[in-house]
Structures are given as structure tokens and as C-alpha cells.
Amino acid sequence: MKKALLVILSFGLVILLGVGITLLVSSMRSPSAALELPPIPATEEPSDENNTFTVPLYFLSSDHRLLVKERRTLVLSGRLEERLETLVRALIDGPGVRNLLPTIPEGTRLQSLFWDEAQKCVVLSLSREFIDRRPGHALSEWASIYSLVNTLADHDSSIQTIQILVDGELVEDGLLWDLTEPLAPDKTFVFYDSAESLMSPGQ
């Protein structure tokens, strides 16, 4: 009787062992919810505070004699082209300091901007107002051009020249300053201190 009982118990253990092995092999072959990897967390976008910079924007002095740097705090993010577009639009909007004058003719719009890495040149196209409403005075016209050129070149040391187009084309209609070639920065008539230093305590 004892021998029969032992045989039955042994047979039962073999069956249980076989079932256990089968379940283990099955769990290894099929994916298990318990073994699922957690999802990759989405990359957080940097806050505007991390992309805020104080940059120089060049405007005309109130006596029409010099370009003066206004230090403006702007949110600059994305590719170089996107940052430069922000700077151009800030110039078009005009100065934020009241002892400075706007340099870009009213109504001018930025149409496109392209960074030519090979030539180290920024190519930008402005709307027709840039030349149709130009001041017609040599220094004021110079200021319109070089407020753009100097502002963009100051933003990144890799920028060597700026090509200004109007409606996507080279300008050849008798401007006082030649826009048919890319222009390098020109600090000849630039006030080297900031616009804020021109403000008297009472202003």
C-alpha cells in the first residue's frame, strides 16, 4: 500500500513539475504585461526664460548723425534663421528708447530670410516699401541699410556679410548706396556706448 502511495505521489510531482516548466517556457515566449518597458518621457520644451537674451539693435540718433545700439531683451530660439528673423522684425517695429529714431521705412515687411552657410552670408528680402519710402538723405539711407547689417552681424560671429533684396530681387534703381553686392558690417558712424547712456537723468 505504501509502495502504491509513493508511486502516485511521485507521478503527481512529475505532472506538477511538467506543468510548471510548460508555464515558464510559455511566459518566456510571449510578452508579459509585467515586463513592458515604461514609455519614453516626452522631451520638455525649454521655457522662454531659457531663451531670453539681451541683444544690440541699431537705430538712428535723434540728430540723424549716428547709429546707436539699443540693448533689447528678446526671446530668441530655434535655428539661426529664426533668431535673425526675430531681430529684423524688432528693427522694423522701431526703437523702444525715445531718444532714438526708426531706421526702417514705415510699412516695410520681412518677406524671407536665408542663411548661406557656404558663403557665410545672410540673404534677406524686404517688401517694396524699403526703397519706395527711403529717406533720400545719404546718412539716413546708410542707417536704414547698416542698422540691418550691423544688427544681424553682431548676433553671430560666423555671419560675414548680408545681402539685401527687395521683392526677392537685387536692387539696381539708383539708390545712394549700392545693394547689388553682399555688405559687411560698417561701424564708421556708430556710437559705441549704448542708447541708455545718452539719456539724461530727467528723461
What separation, in Å, do the N-terminal and C-terminal C-alpha atoms of the chain show? 114
pLDDT of residue 17: 53
Tens-digit pLDDT profile for residues 156-200: 999 999 999 999 999 877 667 789 999 999 988 887 665 555 554
Tens-digit pLDDT profile for residues 140-161: 889 999 999 999 999 999 999 9
Look over the chain and give the mean of its residue pLDDT values, rounded to a whole number. 79
* Residue 53 contacts residue 70 (beta carbons within 8 Å): no
Residue 203: pLDDT above 60?
A: no
Residue 11: pLDDT above 50?
A: yes
Give the Cα separation of 136 and 156 in Å (integer). 31
DSSP structure class, residue 103: -
Q: What percent of the chain has pLDDT over 90?
A: 51
